[in-house]
A and B are shown apart, each in its own frame.
Chain A
Amino acid sequence: MSAAPPPALPVTLANNPRLDQWVRFPQSGRAAVATGKVEIGQGILTAMRQIAAEELCLAPDRIELHSGDTELTPNEGYTSGSQSIQYGGVALRLACAEVRALFLERAAAKLGCRREELSIADGKVLRQGIAAGEDYWSLAGEVDLARRATGAAALKEVGAYGIVGRSMPRTDLGGKVFGEAVFIHDMAPQGMLHARVVRQPRPGARIARIDEAGLRRAAKGPVELVRDGDFLAILAADETVVENLAAVAGNYVAWDGVERVNPLREEARALLQQPSIDRVIGDPEPAAAAPGRYEASFTRMHVAHASVAPSCALALFEGGRLTVWTHCQGVYPLRAALARALKLDPAAISVRHVQGPGCYGHNGADDAAADAAVIARSRPGQTVRVRWRREEEFAFDPVSPAMVVTVHAALDEAGRPADWTTEVWSGRHSSRPGGGGNLLAAEALPDAAEPPQPVDVPEASGGGGTRNGMPLYDFAKKRIVHHLVPETPVRTSALRGLGATINVYAIEMAMDELAERAGMDPLAYRLSVLSDARARAVLERVAKMSRWQPGLPAGTAKGRGIAFARYKNMAAYAAIVAEVEVEEEVRLLNVWCAADAGLVVNPDGAVNQLEGNIVQAASWALKEGVRLDETGISSRDWESYPVLRFSEVPEIFVELVDAKADRPPLGVGEASGGPAAAAIGNAVAHALGARLRDLPLSRERVMAALLRG
């Protein structure tokens, strides 16, 4: 043992230091393991089970895994930002290692032997490889886990792993293919009331009058109304009754103070006319513009989460306690926000995660939970279920903000950037309720608190608008100029990747243009300014996978593009080659991806995430942009907000680089999105012989480029 002090605890273990918050042995042959991270389709429950089983030396199916429940699990904040394995998994691994060490110590004392003689196999203590008659359960009464983690326990050697590093089938997928899994939408406790909200059309709108008689006449069955300030909901025992009524309920309510939206603000360039909070990150700005300057602007419209189903929540207020079932990404932050909004003690609120449709960030889930809570408060003893309508999810989703990114580069004699600026205009990328406010129902209550000042995600957490704005390349001077636009036409918040998608798009498109100016192949040009060995390795691997060939002619209607990023400059590395065909619109043929995520817990799970992020980014790049009219978001269905369909999806090939190496795990869930969008952009440019810098790369934009010839 080293005499050095133990390393600082991983952040979520430091915040939840009692070991029994993570691991308990309540029942013979079983272990209860808790994670604050929640399943949002990314396979985290399977990976956490693998981590705990490996470090506890236990068969995975002995573990009863609790997740995202204020009564049962540690507070690990949000399940977001590709942090679950990199931080939450590392915390769980260390907690499990310490639990195993404590049991081994106790067993050694009891057996009167040295601890080094002992090991554990599937929960049983072995002495020199032979069962010693003790196990976790026989010792459980003698080992007090209600103690603080020290972080001093030795982790299992990665070389000895038998569970982590192998692809394990998703534990939740079986129930989903047989239609047996209970999503939050499927919960149906006895006596449940179905509710829909008649929502304020815009923030601050006030109810002028309600034609209650008309509303009741329009209903095909008995309905109840709940009103609290400008919050109005309709309730019925029969979901069909309330759903049908919700579609027309707006006709029976008149509103005052409905602010209008300027539809022109759907275009990203409208940001340039807005007041902004400005700062510089990185090297100071140069005094004068250098010669040989390159400058180009890239834009992206607002983008919706567009979850496949609208948000849903259940709530029960009984005996002074509020219980909320939600598919949000952070049960503790939501509990804090609900406590503030409803003026309840947080200890009187339980928030429990139940799986929903993939959210990809801060969608309507938290708002639906607040809706259910406000309604439940007025119906003590009855479970209230709120399910948003499809158009409500599109209209009130806190969308990803529109962005403009301008790259300025001063080049040296070899045509390589000596000074680089990524200049970003963007609304904020996080307005999650844990930060205070921003629950639609709470804002409609009579005593609503003032909304908090808009802030963006800090750089220490990867930044919001600035995310991946700092190129990883070896430029002598580099910086981000960030213009945070506080006032946006619609609510904005976190969508997978945040600002990284368009920042990587801009940087990697610019790199291709600069390579062309320098007369170099895009891959060779990147490698000539990239010393990070892991970054080089993913680029070289993807080039090999895709049989990258320099010098293929441009403008032939078929094109290839390459792009690279390390997500947040601190999570996984990903390099992508995309191959497209462009006639009147862009057709994706093949996408290759090489990624380095350090030690990978579940390789197939990581590949699945990389593939999914590629498809989603392809959809953003080719199709997506939120439309606005005077009432707010006007793209309220899948026809006005199209996403990529099956026949538009390319063949995808993903490889992990050094996935079994003993290196810290790096978050992978959002790593391939930026590079995928950029590789597609570069491939389209190669196919067309012309650069399209505004997303989405729609048919209209492609046709215009073709006409310009």
Chain B
Amino acid sequence: MQAISFTVNGRAAGVTADPDTPLLDVLRNHLGLAGTKFGCGAEQCGACMVLIDGRPEKSCGKALATVAGRAVVTVEGLGTPQRPHPLQEAFLDEQAGQCGYCLAGILVSAKALLDRNPSPSRREIAAALDGNICRCGSHARILRAVARAARAMREGAAR
């Protein structure tokens, strides 16, 4: 057991746990942030994607010890129904989802993309989401939604 401090969605978090505990389990079971999902536990599907210091990372494969002192952002940190992130608005506008289990990870991957590339092509969006599996086949809508959010963010920045 070890006490480890980091920030989650801008707030200080301290967890006393086995330092090998996957960050995903820490988020879901210790911090009650269940938006981030378990999909495979093997870094293959992207359901557990979070941002660590701004970079998209699969939290099932990140030990708690590796995030000490770092900034973690989960889907809950993107926005709220009252103050949605443009991505969240765009996903609702495009009705981009079916079962929705994969969406948290996809939104996080998309945020990482738009943070570094404000005007990605369809191909670039698809490449950025290739680490995320959607099994329902909502891909076409999701690709449209990310492009729509990028547009909205550029227009917002220009205003």
Main secondary structure of the interface of B (DSSP, over half): loop
The residue on B at minimum CB distance from A173 is: B97
Q: Does A223 contact B (CB under 8 A)?
A: no
Q: How far is the CB of B27 from chain A (nearest CB, A)?
A: 10
Across the interface, B99 reaches (CB within 8 A) one of A41, A167, A619, A645, namely A41
Stretch at the interface among B31-39, B51-59, B150-158: B31-39
Report the Cα distance A169→B95, complex, angstroms. Answer: 7
Q: Are A645 and B100 in contact (CB under 8 A)?
A: no
Q: Are A608 and B138 in contact (CB under 8 A)?
A: yes
Q: Are B140 and A611 in contact (CB under 8 A)?
A: yes
Q: Are B99 and A608 in contact (CB under 8 A)?
A: no
- Mask, B99-123, CB within 8 Å of A = 1, is 1111110010000000000000001
Q: Tell me the residues in window 20-50 of chain B with beta carbons closer than 8 Å to chain A beta carbons.
A: 21-22, 25, 28-29, 32-42, 44-45, 47
Report the Cα distance A14→B44, complex, angstroms. Answer: 47
Q: How far is the CB of A85 from chain B (nearest CB, A)?
A: 16
Residues of B within 8 A of A178 (CB): 35, 75-76, 78-81, 84, 88
Q: Does A604 contact B (CB under 8 A)?
A: yes
Residues of B within 8 A of A650 (CB): 140
Q: Are B138 and A611 in contact (CB under 8 A)?
A: yes
Q: How far is the CB of B94 from chain A (nearest CB, A)?
A: 10
Q: Does B137 contact A (CB under 8 A)?
A: yes
Main secondary structure of the interface of A (DSSP, over half): loop
Report the Cα distance A132→B14, complex, angstroms. Answer: 61
Number of B positions contacting A (CB below 8 A): 59
Across the interface, A638 reaches (CB within 8 A) one of B34, B38, B44, namely B44
Q: Tell me the residues in window 122-140 of chain B with beta carbons closer than 8 Å to chain A beta carbons.
A: 123, 125-127, 129-130, 132-140
Q: How far is the CB of B107 from chain A (nearest CB, A)?
A: 7
The residue on B at minimum CB distance from A183 is: B101
Q: Are B35 and A179 in contact (CB under 8 A)?
A: yes
Q: Does A438 contact B (CB under 8 A)?
A: no
Q: Are B138 and A612 in contact (CB under 8 A)?
A: yes
Known: A169-B95, A240-B25. A638 touches B76 (CB 8 A): no
Q: Are A172 and B138 in contact (CB under 8 A)?
A: no
Q: Are A309 and B76 in contact (CB under 8 A)?
A: no
Residues of A within 8 A of B47 (CB): 308-309
Q: Are B101 and A309 in contact (CB under 8 A)?
A: yes
Q: Are A309 and B39 in contact (CB under 8 A)?
A: yes
Residues of A within 8 A of B104 (CB): 176, 179
Residues of A within 8 A of B133 (CB): 308, 638, 643, 645
Q: Does A566 contact B (CB under 8 A)?
A: no
Q: Tell me the residues in window 135-179 of chain A with beta carbons closer than 8 Å to chain B beta carbons.
A: 167, 169-170, 172-174, 176-179
Q: Does A390 contact B (CB under 8 A)?
A: yes
Q: Are B88 and A243 in contact (CB under 8 A)?
A: no
Report the Cα distance A392→B29, complex, angstroms. Answer: 22
Residues of B within 8 A of A176 (CB): 97, 100-101, 103-104
- Mask, B75-91, CB within 8 Å of A = 1, is 11011110010001001
- Mask, A439-451, CB within 8 Å of B = 1, is 0000000000000
Report the Cα distance A183→B143, complex, angstroms. Answer: 24
- Among A173, A179, A309, A605, max chain B CB count under 10 A is at A179
Stretch at the interface among A99-107, A352-360, A701-709: A352-360
Q: Are A360 and B135 in contact (CB under 8 A)?
A: yes
Q: Are B139 and A649 in contact (CB under 8 A)?
A: yes
Across the interface, A308 reaches (CB within 8 A) one of B28, B33, B88, B99, namely B99
Report the Cα distance A649→B136, complex, angstroms. Answer: 12
Q: Are B75 and A41 in contact (CB under 8 A)?
A: no
Report the Cα distance A615→B134, complex, angstroms. Answer: 10
Across the interface, B44 reaches (CB within 8 A) one of A637, A646, A649, namely A637
Number of A positions contacting B (CB below 8 A): 61
Q: Does B98 contact A (CB under 8 A)?
A: yes
Q: Are B75 and A647 in contact (CB under 8 A)?
A: no
Residues of B within 8 A of A356 (CB): 99, 101
- Mask, A170-195, CB within 8 Å of B = 1, is 10111011111111011010000000
Report the Cα distance A371→B41, complex, angstroms. Answer: 21
Known: A186-B34, A608-B95. A390 touches B76 (CB 8 A): no
Q: Does A40 contact B (CB under 8 A)?
A: yes
Q: Are B101 and A616 in contact (CB under 8 A)?
A: no
Known: A178-B76, A179-B74, A308-B134. A612 touches B40 (CB 8 A): no
Report the Cα distance A638→B99, complex, angstroms. Answer: 19
Q: Are A615 and B36 in contact (CB under 8 A)?
A: no
Q: Are A390 and B101 in contact (CB under 8 A)?
A: no
Q: Does B3 contact A (CB under 8 A)?
A: no
Known: A179-B104, A637-B44. A220 touches B18 (CB 8 A): yes
Across the interface, A174 reaches (CB within 8 A) one of B21, B92, B107, namely B92
Q: Does B141 contact A (CB under 8 A)?
A: yes
The residue on B at minimum CB distance from A610 is: B137
Residues of B within 8 A of A188 (CB): 29, 32, 34
Q: How far is the CB of A15 from chain B (nearest CB, A)?
A: 28
Q: Are B97 and A611 in contact (CB under 8 A)?
A: no
Report the Cα distance A164→B50, complex, angstroms. Answer: 39
Q: Does A652 contact B (CB under 8 A)?
A: yes
Report the Cα distance A80→B92, complex, angstroms. Answer: 26
Known: A308-B134, A356-B101, A357-B101. A239 touches B42 (CB 8 A): no
Q: Are A638 and B45 in contact (CB under 8 A)?
A: yes
Q: Does A116 contact B (CB under 8 A)?
A: no
Report the Cα distance A356→B28, complex, angstroms. Answer: 16
Report the Cα distance A634→B137, complex, angstroms. Answer: 25
Residues of A within 8 A of B97 (CB): 170, 173, 176-177
Residues of A within 8 A of B125 (CB): 646
Q: Does A413 contact B (CB under 8 A)?
A: no
Q: Does A389 contact B (CB under 8 A)?
A: yes
Q: How far is the CB of B2 from chain A (nearest CB, A)?
A: 13
- Among A389, A390, A646, max chain B CB count under 10 A is at A646
- Among B25, B47, B129, B137, max chain A CB count under 10 A is at B137
**Lowest 6 A-B CB distances belong to which pairs?**
A179-B35, A41-B99, A615-B137, A176-B100, A612-B137, A179-B75
Q: Can you show 14 pairs from A to B with CB atoms below 8 A apart?
A: A170-B95, A179-B35, A181-B100, A188-B34, A306-B135, A308-B135, A309-B37, A309-B38, A360-B135, A389-B41, A608-B141, A616-B135, A616-B136, A650-B140
Using CB atoms and an 8 Å cutoff, list the residues of chain B in contact with chain A.
Answer: 18, 21-22, 25, 28-29, 32-42, 44-45, 47, 74-76, 78-81, 84, 88, 91-92, 95, 97-104, 107, 123, 125-127, 129-130, 132-143
Apart from A40-B99, A608-B95, A646-B125, 17 more pairs, CB < 8 Å: A41-B100, A177-B75, A178-B35, A179-B33, A179-B75, A181-B100, A183-B37, A238-B29, A240-B22, A308-B133, A358-B101, A608-B98, A614-B137, A616-B137, A637-B42, A646-B143, A647-B123
